[in-house]
């Protein structure tokens, strides 16, 4: 089936044979938490109208003029290889109106999809220089996925509120109120990134390329020095390592960020690629856009709850293990909590009253519950700005 570009009218087919998904709904790739939040918002009568009215202060016209004046618009004459990949992505995900795309001079590898009325895709020169063709194809598919999911408007609001929070930081109550909204938006946006990674995989249809791209965001352009399998093992170690204190630090570290960590994204995408849901989708069984209006909020919330229960049950994270153990309701509650925190309470296992064997010679020092020198909560890592963007944050 041919694809007519809305501007040129020329026939456009993907560079190699990839499966196409006619009329695919963004529900097919959306993370459960992302999906339920967006369905609930979309079902609220007049929500988008009110939301856009309240966001009338946003200088969208200025934003578009800025990209037009100080970036390079992708076309068949400028960055033609990116233009071809953009057309391919829109063809595969059946997006009729191809969004404008710009390349912006910036050594920081990044990409984003913004705009209140119509989405705009922006990629930086740092990202273009970092990734090879198939890795870049996944990124463009990622951004087209954002556009199809309706994420651009909320991403724009997030950027605006983040900048506003910096300007009114001297007003205590005003800044607290804004940052509460920003924190909630960031939590949703981190989930939306996992959704868009899936869309990127559907476009590129090359899992190793998608994983390589995420690995490069973490380690740079030294591909010959890195290994995808070792990177996934590193991701597994990050999820399973330490105790509950480490789990809390993970939460604090990610709070100021708009994107999940690269290892987390790689692990999540790898799991989804191996899932039955992904296989069914590739076999042509997926929700269609015409069915979106029939989606009930309660049904979506049930799916989300089931997905979260499964995630908690299967997670190797110490905190999630503790939650699953406590939910099981069996055994010694105190012992489970003590184990989760690495026995920091000062009583070793086997030394409890009634335990006759074991534990001799083992004591916990006075600082048994400390996290160790240099540990701190909430730091975003070197190079993080007030917008919560760190060196590994890209594929916006």
Per-residue model confidence as pLDDT tens digits over 150-188: 888 878 877 777 777 666 666 665 566 667 667 777 778
143 is catalytic: yes
Report the pLDDT value the prediction gives residue 274, as an integer from 0 to 100: 97
Lowest mean pLDDT, pick from 88-92, 345-349, 381-385: 381-385
Report the pLDDT value the prediction gives residue 142, as an integer from 0 to 100: 98
Closest CA to 26 of 141, 115, 145, 123: 145
Helix (H, G, I), strand (E, B) or coil at 132: coil
More confident residue, 3 or 120: 120
> 3-state DSSP helix/strand/coil percent for the chain, to nearest 5?
55, 5, 40
Asked if pLDDT for residue 96 goes beyond 80, the answer is yes
Lowest mean pLDDT, pick from 220-234, 249-263, 329-343: 329-343
Lowest mean pLDDT, pick from 123-127, 235-239, 260-264, 332-336: 332-336
How far is it, in rounded angstroms, from Cα 281 to Cα 20?
Answer: 11
The band of 254, judged by pLDDT with boundaries at 50, 70 and 90, is confident
More confident residue, 272 or 60: 272
The band of 9, judged by pLDDT with boundaries at 50, 70 and 90, is very low
Residues 3-22: what's their mean pLDDT?
61
Report the pLDDT value the prediction gives residue 208, as an integer from 0 to 100: 97
More confident residue, 16 or 330: 16
Look at the pTM and tell me if it is higher than 0.85.
no
DSSP string, 248-287: HHHHHHHTT-SS--HHHHHHHHHHHHTSHHHHHHHTT---
Report the pLDDT value the prediction gives residue 209, as an integer from 0 to 100: 98
More confident residue, 93 or 337: 93
What own/partner pairs with CB < 8 Å and gap ≥ 24 does 311-318 have? 315/239, 316/236, 316/239, 316/240, 317/239, 317/240, 317/247, 317/250, 318/240, 318/242, 318/243, 318/244, 318/246, 318/247
> How many CB atoms sit inside 10 A of residue 265's CB?
25
How far is it, in rounded angstroms, from Cα 288 to Cα 361?
Answer: 65
Query: Of the spans 37-41, 121-125, 341-345, which averages the highest pLDDT?
Result: 121-125
The band of 136, judged by pLDDT with boundaries at 50, 70 and 90, is very high
The residue with tokens 């939590």 is: 187
Structure tokens at 378: 């909430």
How far is it, in rounded angstroms, from Cα 198 to Cα 254?
Answer: 21
Q: How far is the first Cα of the chain from the last one, in angstroms, to the nearest whole number?
A: 31
Residues 309-338: what's their mean pLDDT?
51
Angle between helices 297-314 and 318-328 (to 10 degrees): 110
Residues 116-138: what's their mean pLDDT?
95
Asked if pLDDT for residue 335 goes beyond 70, the answer is no
What mean pLDDT is reported for the chain?
Answer: 75
Of these residues, 30, 143, 239, 393, which one is catalytic? 143
Query: Which H helix or E strand runs over 111?
Result: strand 111-114
Report the pLDDT value the prediction gives residue 228, as an integer from 0 to 100: 97
Query: Which H helix or E strand runs over 247?
Result: helix 244-254
Residues 134-156: what's their mean pLDDT?
93
């Amino acid at each position: 089936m041919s694809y007519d570009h809305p501007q040129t009218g020329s026939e456009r087919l993907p560079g190699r044979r990839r499966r196409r998904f006619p009329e695919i709904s963004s529900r097919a790739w959306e993370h459960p938490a992302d999906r339920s939040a967006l369905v609930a918002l979309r079902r609220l009568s007049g929500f988008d109208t009110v939301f856009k009215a309240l966001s009338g202060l946003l200088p969208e016209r200025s934003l578009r003029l800025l990209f037009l004046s100080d970036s390079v618009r992708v076309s068949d004459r400028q960055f033609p290889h990116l233009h071809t990949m953009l057309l391919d992505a829109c063809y595969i995900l059946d997006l009729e109106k191809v969004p404008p795309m710009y390349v912006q001079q910036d050594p920081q590898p990044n990409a984003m999809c913004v705009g209140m009325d119509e989405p705009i895709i922006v990629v930086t020169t740092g990202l273009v220089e970092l990734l090879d063709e198939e890795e870049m194809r996944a990124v463009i598919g990622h951004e087209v996925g954002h556009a199809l999911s309706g994420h651009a408007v909320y991403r724009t609001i997030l950027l605006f509120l983040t900048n506003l929070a910096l300007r009114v930081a001297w007003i205590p109550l005003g800044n607290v109120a804004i940052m509460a909204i920003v924190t909630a938006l960031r939590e949703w946006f981190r989930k939306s990134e996992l959704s868009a990674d899936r869309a990127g995989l559907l476009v590129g249809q090359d899992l190793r390329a998608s994983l390589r791209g995420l690995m490069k965001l973490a380690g740079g352009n030294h591909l010959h020095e890195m290994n995808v399998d070792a990177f996934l093992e590193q991701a597994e170690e990050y999820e399973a390592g330490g105790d509950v204190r480490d789990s809390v630090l993970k939460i604090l570290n990610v709070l100021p960020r708009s994107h999940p960590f690269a290892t987390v994204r790689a692990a999540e995408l790898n799991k989804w690629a191996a899932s039955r849901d992904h296989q069914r989708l590739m076999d042509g069984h997926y929700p269609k856009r015409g069915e979106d209006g029939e989606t009930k909020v309660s049904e979506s919330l049930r799916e989300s709850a089931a997905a979260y229960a499964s995630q908690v049950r299967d997670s190797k994270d110490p905190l999630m293990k503790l939650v699953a153990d406590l939910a099981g309701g069996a055994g010694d509650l105190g012992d489970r909590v003590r184990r989760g925190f690495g026995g920091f309470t000062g009583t070793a296992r086997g030394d409890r009253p009634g335990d006759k064997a074991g534990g001799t010679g083992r004591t916990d020092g006075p600082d048994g519950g400390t996290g160790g020198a240099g540990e701190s909560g909430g730091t975003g890592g070197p190079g993080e700005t007030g917008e919560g963007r760190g060196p590994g944050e890209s594929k916006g």
